[in-house]
Structure 1
Amino acid sequence: MDLTRQRAHWIDRSTLVWRFEGPVGDRRCDLVWSPDAALEIIDGALVGPHETLPLRVRPGGLSTEQRSRWPHLADHTAFTVEADVDTIKTALRGQVAVTARDEGGWLLVATGAQLPGVLDDVYADAVHADLGCRFHDDGGVTISVWAPTAHWVALEWWPPDGTDGDPEVLGMWRDDRTGVWRVDGDWGWTGRRYRFRVEVYHPATQRIETMSVTDPYSIALTANSTHSIVANLLDPLLIPADWTALRKPRAVTPARAQVYEVSVRDFSSYDRSVPEPRRGTFAAFATPNSAGMRHLRRLADAGTTHLHLLPAFDFATVPELRAEQAEPSGDLTALPPDSADQQARIAEIRDRDGYNWGYDPLHYSVPEGSYSTDPDGPRRITEFREMVAALNGVGLRVVMDVVYNHTVAGGVNHHSVLDRIVPGYYHRLLADGRVADSTCCANTAPEHAMMGKLVVDSVLRWAVDYKVDGFRFDLMGHHPKANILAVRAALDRLTPQQDGVDGRAVLIYGEGWDFGEVAGNQRFVQASQHQLAGTGVGTFNDRLRDAVRGGQAFENNPRSQGYATGLFTDPNGDDVNGPPDHQRARLLFQHDLIKIGLTGNLASYRFVASSGQSVTGGSYYYNGSPAGYCASPGECVSYVDAHDNEILFDTLAFKLPPSLAPLERARMQLLALSFTVLGQGMGFVAAGSERLRSKSLDRNSFDSGDWFNAIRWDPTEGNGFGLGLPPAWDNQDKWSFAGPLLADPLLVPDPDVIEWTVARYLELLRIRRDSPLFGLDTAVEVQDRVSFPLSGPAETPGVITMRLSGVEDVVVVFNAVPATVTQKLPRLRGGAFDLHPHQKAGGDERLSQSAFDPATGIFTVPARSVAVFTGTSLRG
């Protein structure tokens, strides 16, 4: 017997389920509640004043509809609850438990009850409520919060000029139909700081708590998110010049998108061309002639379409005021490249410095304060908007990384917002009532109506009020598919005429991984890779990533090679790769995965595999799962690196032979990146990979400070390699591999190699930009126009040849081999092909040796190169 756990589930007004051990027939089961949280178990007896409702076993168990909605509870015993809705609502505002007694009335079992299901049922109308701070045309203001289980809620109230002293307390009135509490005022409230004072039973402490909590629907915040602020997003003082007439860059379909991922802080923290107060902030993007913005303009001109920002909403782990942010001690630049001192000094202050990726949400719909030049107030709103306008002005649409799958904390923690207002509702609970944390923090439950509503409402806030052009969902597989489709439907309803936004042009993509307590659709149909086919929502293609890089995301030995890291073609000598014949077979398997990726990871695409068999992407398996799972190419996000795991340069440093010269490493880096540019579907790269950016081999730099993360736009400052051993807290198991590499000065690229790599990458972007064959929108088009004419057992290991057919023919030869190769395509004999004009006009002398012989149909491509040929064929 344990009231601190909630093993029963009250799923709707008439149904409670509970998993029993042993028969139920001779037991008397009751639903009990105590308005004052006075229930206790003393000497095996339930004590404390309480009310009781008898529970009756439902012989047929859950209905078909209930089993579909609650699959993880399908085998539980079902009970009927017989009570009117007013009694139920009263019970829900107290401590709720379930008991079982024997025939003599002796207490056998007692446990708490999980309440989200019944809350969604009896307060179903709440999904239509306007929450947060709302300004009305008649001069009124309403502040509302959903708190159906609270005994009472009041507004704590401070003046606009500060939060010193005790607050004024304003009573709020409760709408019993929705469970929403509200208070009304007028526009004169603008600028005032507020919190909700909530009296509510909390299962984490087993008592009635009175807590002071910020608004989950906050529009503006004070520094360090201590107080919400009454603000009107339509206030002219918060709207930059020409904001309402902002011209968006031309919309592209998901299949044509090229996305560049960057952290707000990384972008400018080391950019000396940005005024110091603006470094690491939204305002740096509104500094038009900075080194970073000049580079973004080059990328946009060449064909990059979207800038993806790592979390830029309000997060919890960074002091927002610059004066409160700690700096590492000493001169880190004076330390050896393989020293452990740099990371040790960062470790001393990493909980107090200004750096974090931000995957620790606090308030979902407010810009992050540490990214503002003035976090105490609404300036962060204006600066975020100015950033969007500036990026749109250079030709880039803006994507936000959103993290609705978890919060930084739950329970009564001071960083817990949602769970202190409606305890036990917004988070996903395990069988005994503990909060699930498979995402590394307190998992939210978007399957519950009001958490799902918060997701949709927040996305619309960013799309309409901040003109954000896309959303990348973190750990999207922890969302129900229905929730993501509700987001898509809500965006699709936005129109330029009514909302100032064409919602249909807004991208949605995310991590479709399948793991944790929701894996295998245990609780709902997930928004995971395979299940989003046909929805137009994109997911990251880990099959292509792993084939190109080698190994897998969380490998123990970083020397495991792949297609672009030298497997079989540039062996590094590590036993992890096996003997040559094993390497050759593995490399050809990687060929097949890459080909499926190049077609947009389509389940339906048919080609000849390395085995010689005709297969489809969906019938070709990788790690026990179909390699191809998309229904259209725009649902595939092709990438070879991102903020997670080692950035591409560091991956190559681990995997390529140490003797390989920097320029040859740059060629292999371009080869890897080419698969994100020249394939079908959305291309995605981590910022700086086109300029050989390194994080000194750090595989998880979320809390590693500016030292390991900042982009160094000036190539004379290096690329970030050799800044010391990566932080011990997540890399020490690889120090034996990392130390010798970091100490080797030959691995550091010269500035001219960095600039050479940028130029070659821009050429690839221009090739994609100028041809409709890269970025086809349908599976039928891809099947008709994309082929791999030399596929099969005789294909040259390390060489993939792709043909695209249209008004003109395009032939792409990806050559990972450290020697010139020839590829014979007899069907193209008599045709006229030449190196693509963008590559021909470039400065790569080696690539200029690429050639086509019309007499034989042979393409010649030099070592470690990607050659794109354009022309016409006589035979079709």
Structure 2
Amino acid sequence: MKGDHISMSAYIDDFSMITIVVNKPFSIIPSLSLVDEKKVLQPLTIDKQEHYHDQVIYKCRTRMPIDLKNRYWVTFNETRIPLMIGSIVRTEKFDSLYFDDSSLGANYTPESTTFKVWSPVAFAMILKYKPQHSSTFIEQKMSRTERGVWQVTLDGDHHLTEYMFVVNVNHEWIETTDPYSKSVTANGVHSVVIHLPETDPEGWNRSEKKINLRSKTDSFIYEVHVRDLTIHSDSGVLNKGKYLGLTEQGTKTTNGFHTGLEYLKNLGITHVQLLPVADFGSVDETKPDSAYNWGYDPVHFLSPEGSYATNPHDPSCRIKELKTLIYTLQHNGLSVILDVVYNHVYKREESPFEKLVPGYYFRYDDGGNPVNGTGVGNDTASERKMMRKFILDALTYWMSEYKVDGFRFDLMGIHDVETMNQAAEKLKSLNPGVFLLGEGWDLNTNLAPEKKATLSSAKKMPSYSFFNDAFRDNVKGSIFPAGQSGFINGNNDERIKHHMKQVMRGYAGQHDTFIKAEQSINYSECHDNHTLYDLLSIRHAFEDELMRRKRQQLALAFTIFAQGVPFIHAGQECFRTKKGEENSYNLPDTINAFDWNRCESFHKEVDYFKQLIKIRKTQPLFHESSSELMEWMVPDGALGFKLHLPTTDIKDGASYWRKALLLFNQTTKPLDIPLEENSWTIAIEDESFCNRVLKEELYRLEPLSFSLLYSV
């Protein structure tokens, strides 16, 4: 307001409270009123005055409750100020009044499609749509229910109809896509109606219910980026960097080394964990080679990413090809875990969530500013009823429509325990063996500590496994090169050794956190931070590379044989390098591509990895809860553990190991290990498989090596 140099804005903060924000205090308290479209006036009473930074805030009361179906203005010296949506959307009363559990989005049948979108704060809503083969958009008014759902039904077959919602919120008309979009046009410009059965690949059974009965501790998770695994020039894959690239059979390097799907099939892993495949915002789908991203910048949570599709302009293509990938992996004995990112959006202001219900889906501080525990500028508010509903709806959709076997939750500590437990209950009703895991980091978001789905809440969330940073840090040291070193670096500190003993018992120094070993995701490398090879290259820069590789193989042995769930980052088995880059989320393929030539050159190490997996999978004492683990007396600089399987757990005639001895040498010198018993056979020695019977009372453990001995 230029006349008196006062800049003013007004917000609805409760059903009877208006907040007026001005750049300087009123010299004389003016006459303030609330007026609606019918020009009904009601005076506003100033309850209190507050100062926040350079602004003055007046809290005002209304005489009558505010009706969100109306538009309002605040009058001030004969000037009208539009009344905007404020923190009212974050009140319990708002959640209670407007929670709606109906089926949102475009609900398709061949005869008609009903469009439903939730926006209790909208004054009006229009469906803007363009049928297939049409060149122009048509507009259709939508009607509002009491709980703020806007809907309209279009007769006829609307498969592949493009659509948008045009919404009047905060006194302006804006366009938005549907947050429940099952597919979108290239780069998510428009939402698209989809007849989902038409996207099913050959062999897809819509009525089949996916059931997984494999226990978590019998699982091996292998983390893969769709583009990384096939984009290399010598991958032998035709559809490089695409969903279909990982479905191609028999792919090889020019020298005949298996790549892609064939490689995954032969590793012995049980689960392929795909980095995000839901639509993300940082790669131009029409020019997919012009940029790279891991995909942790979600836009449309129910639609597959188009840059991995062979035709991003065809809304059916991305769905069909992702289904084909999932189907192919599963029919080759591999379960599929999706990495899902519900903790934030790519750009809050441009998100359909924010356009439809400003301020509702995200967390804010007391000053009304978005909190940033995720580090990307916004945190979603899973504790609010419609955000919780959205997360549950999205998970249920991916499981039922795409038949995935599990979910990995990015920055799960941002979410609340109640939402995660409701999700687990729902998903387990669909598949009792669904694999649920997440990052339980405690991040600075506006949620009470006891409600956060963090590592400290593991006992409240028995269906979830958690990335175990204590395991990671004790094995390899801090993720930061200048931080504390770990066991494989030669750190002989008593605290480290104590925690390493806990590592092998499945608690990783956090025995007050987990209920059971299967809650521990044991890992020493993932897509985040340096690869272990690169980290060791920095930490041991003047050491021979062979020695560094031996350190990495020590970490691999710990990861595979510790009680819990082994997690391997793709390429860890062949010393994957990202050329020293710590955070490669948006760096080119020259940094991120899985190097098949390097994998080929380290084929012996790959075979060693396969052998370790095979031993853990085939020998019950490594995954039976009844196995007894005790410390083995070893010289300083080594760790030793004896596993014992009770005789009652051994089936008649089975050639199972009754005892196993796991020995780790963190020093650069050989160590003599007293055996005390004379019934040991060597299975693994110095990164080689062997089957040699020992008769000596002392066993020579090579420098920086792992040995595995057994007795039947």
Write the deviation string for residues 538-570 of structure 1: whole angstroms up to 9, x where unpaired: 1110011111112x23x3627x53211333xxx
Please state if 1:510 is matched with 2:447.
no
* Shift in CA distance, 46/409, structure 1 to aligned 2, threshold 3 Å: farther
Contact 1:5 1:434 in 2 (8 A): no
| Equivalence for 1:713 | 596
TM-score, normalised with respect to structure 2: 0.85
Are the aligned partners of 2:90 and 2:360 in contact in 1 as well (CA < 8 Å)? yes
State the secondary structure of the residue aligned to 2:485: coil
482, 487, 490: which is aligned to 1:557? 482
Retained in 1: the 8 A contact 2:281–2:346? Answer: yes
Task: Deviation per CA, 1:272-315: give whole Å up to 9, x if none.
Answer: 44455x21111111111224975654554453110011111000
Equivalent-residue separation in structure 1 for 2:156 and 2:251 (angstroms) = 39
Provide the residue aligned with 2:173 in structure 1.
210
Whether 2:130 is the aligned partner of 1:155: answer: no
Is residue 211–residue 432 contact of structure 2 (8 Å, CA) maintained in 1? no
CA distance in 1: counterparts of 2:188 and 2:541, whole angstroms = 49
Is 1:119 the counterpart of 2:54? The answer is no
Residues 11-57 of structure 1 deviation map (CA, whole Å, 9 limit, x = unaligned) = xx7xxxxxxxxxxxxxxxx62499xx999997664756436598999
Query: What whole-Å deviation, never above 9, does each CA across 1:464-486 have from its counterpart, x for those lacking one?
Result: 10011111101101100111111
The match for 1:233 is: 196
Equivalent position of 1:448 in the other structure: 384
In the other structure, the counterpart of 2:308 is 371
Q: 1:291 to 1:476 in 2, by over 3 A?
A: farther
What is the DSSP-based 3-state SS (H/G/I as helix, E as strand, rest coil) of the residue aligned with 1:645?
A: coil
Q: Which residue identity does 1:564 align to in structure 2?
A: I
User: 1:424 — aligned with what?
Assistant: 359
Counterpart position of 1:640: 524
Q: Deviations over 1:61-109 (max 9, x none)?
A: xxxxxxxxxxxxxxxxx9999967xx54447x65799x9xxxxxxxxxx
Question: Which residue of 659, 675, 679 corresponds with 2:543?
Answer: 659
Question: Which string of whole-angstrom CA distances, capped at 9 and with x for unpartnered residues, describes residues 423-443 of structure 1?
Answer: 110111111111112212221
Higher relative contact order (CA 8 A, sep 6+): 1
- Is 2:249 the partner of 1:311? no
Alpha-carbon distance in structure 2 between the residues aligned to 1:302 and 1:111: 55
Amino acid across the alignment from 2:89: L
Q: Does 1:677 align with 2:560?
A: yes
Map 1:491-506; keep pairs closer than 5 Å: 491-494=427-430, 503-506=431-434
Read off the aligned partner of 2:116 and give its amino acid letter: S
1:545 lines up with 2:508 in the alignment? no
Structural mapping, 1:280-291, within 5 Å: 280-291=241-252
Q: Partners in 1 of 2:527 and 2:142 — Cα distance?
A: 44
Counterpart position of 2:490: 566
1:181 aligns with 2:150: yes
Amino acid at match of 1:209: E
- Name the CA distance, whole Å, in 1 between partners of 2:43 and 2:385: 26
Is 1:833 aligned with 2:680? Answer: yes
What does residue range 304-703 of structure 1 map to in structure 2 within 5 Å?
A: 304-322=269-287, 325=288, 353-376=290-313, 377-411=315-349, 415-441=350-376, 442-494=378-430, 503-518=431-446, 521-522=448-449, 525-533=451-459, 535-550=462-477, 552-553=478-479, 555=480, 557=482, 560-567=484-491, 584-585=492-493, 588-601=494-507, 617-618=509-510, 628-656=512-540, 658-662=542-546, 664-703=547-586
**Aligned mates of 1:844, 1:39 — CA distance in 2:** 70
Q: Is the 8 A contact 1:3 1:112 kept in 2?
A: no
- 1:440–1:135 Cα change, 3 Å: same
SS in 1 for 2:577: coil
User: Secondary structure of the equivalent of 2:621?
Assistant: coil
Q: Deviations over 1:569-624 (max 9, x none)?
A: xxxxxxxxxxxxxxx32xx322222222222227xxxxxxxxxxxxxx55xxxxxx
Q: 1:123 to 1:242 in 2, by over 3 A?
A: closer
Q: Secondary structure at the match of 1:155?
A: strand
Query: Any conservation in 1 of the 2:415–2:453 contact (CA below 8 Å)?
Result: yes
Identical positions, percent: 27
Query: After alignment, is 803-812 or 380-389 more displaced?
Result: 803-812
Decide which structure has greater helix share: 1
Q: How far apart, in 2, do the equivalents of 1:39 and 1:175 lie?
A: 38
Distance in 1 (alpha carbons) for counterparts of 2:666 and 2:641: 12
Does 2:623 correspond to 1:786?
no
Q: Give the match for residue 498 of structure 1.
A: none
**1:773 aligned to which of 613, 621, 642:** 621
Equivalents in 2 of 1:147, 1:38: separation in Å? 28
Aligned counterpart, 1:335? none
SS at match of 1:773: helix
**How far did 1:232 drift?**
1.9
Residue 653 of structure 1 and its aligned partner are, at CA, apart by 1.0
- Whether contact under 8 Å (2:224, 2:275) holds in the other structure is yes
Tell me which amino acid in the other structure corresponds to 2:203.
Answer: A
CA, structure 1 residues 796+296, in 2 after alignment: closer, same or farther (shift >3 Å)? farther
2:234 and 2:597 in contact (8 A); partners too: no
CA distance in 2, matches of 1:95, 1:865: 74
Q: Does 1:31 align with 2:17?
A: yes
Cα distance between partner residues in 1 of 2:512 and 2:204: 45
Helix, strand or coil at the partner of 1:714: helix
Q: Distance in 2 between matches of 1:870 and 1:80?
A: 77
Cα deviation 1:850-870 (Å, max 9, x = unaligned): 87447x4x4432222221111
Tell me the distance in 1 between the aligned counterparts of 2:642 and 2:61: 63
| Distance (whole Å) between structure 2 residues aligned to residue 182 and residue 39 of structure 1 | 40
Query: Relative to 1, partners in 2 of residues 1:246 and 1:810: Cα closer, same or farther, differing over 3 Å?
Result: farther
Deviation at 1:506, TM superposition (A): 1.2
Equivalent residue, structure 2, for 1:870 = 710
Q: Which amino acid aligns with 2:393?
A: D
- C-alpha distance 47-241 of structure 1, shift in aligned 2 (>3 A): same
- Alpha carbon RMSD of aligned pairs, Å? 3.4
User: Residues 601-658 of structure 1, C-alpha deviation per residue, up to 9 Å, x if partnerless?
Assistant: 27xxxxxxxxxxxxxx55xxxxxxxx65110111110000101000111112112252
In structure 2, the CA distance between the partners of 1:564 and 1:316, relative to structure 1 (3 Å rule), is same
1:311–1:358 CA contact under 8 A, matched in 2: yes
Report if the CA contact (8 A) 2:573-2:606 is conserved: yes
Relative to structure 1, is the Cα distance of residues 82 and 513 closer, same or farther in structure 2, using a 3 angstrom cutoff? farther
Structure 1 residues 870, 5: closer, same or farther in 2, change over 3 A?
farther
Partner Cα distance (1:144, 1:658) in 2: 63
Counterpart Cα distance in 1 of 2:692 and 2:10 = 69
CA drift of 1:371 comes to 0.8
1:146-204 CA distance string (max 9 Å, x none): 01100011111113247x55x2101111111x211111124511111000001101xxx
Which residue of the partner structure matches residue 262 of structure 1? Answer: 224
Change beyond 3 A, Cα 1:249–1:488: closer
**Residue by residue, what CA displacement relative to the aligned partner does 1:349-368 show, whole Å, maximum 9, x if unpaired?**
xxxx2310111110001100
Deviation at 1:815, TM superposition (A): 2.0
Alignment of 1:52-63 (within 5 A): none
1:805 equivalent to 2:655? Answer no
Closer, same or farther: CA 679–52 of 1 in aligned 2, 3 Å: farther
- Residue 428 and residue 173 in structure 1: after superposition, are their counterparts in 2 closer, same or farther (change >3 A)? same
Q: Aligned pair in 2 of structure 1 residues 628, 698: CA closer, same or farther (>3 Å)? A: farther
**2:567 counterpart letter in structure 1:** F
Q: Where does structure 2 lack aligned partners over 5 or more consecutive residues?
A: 1-5, 36-40, 48-58, 77-83, 651-657
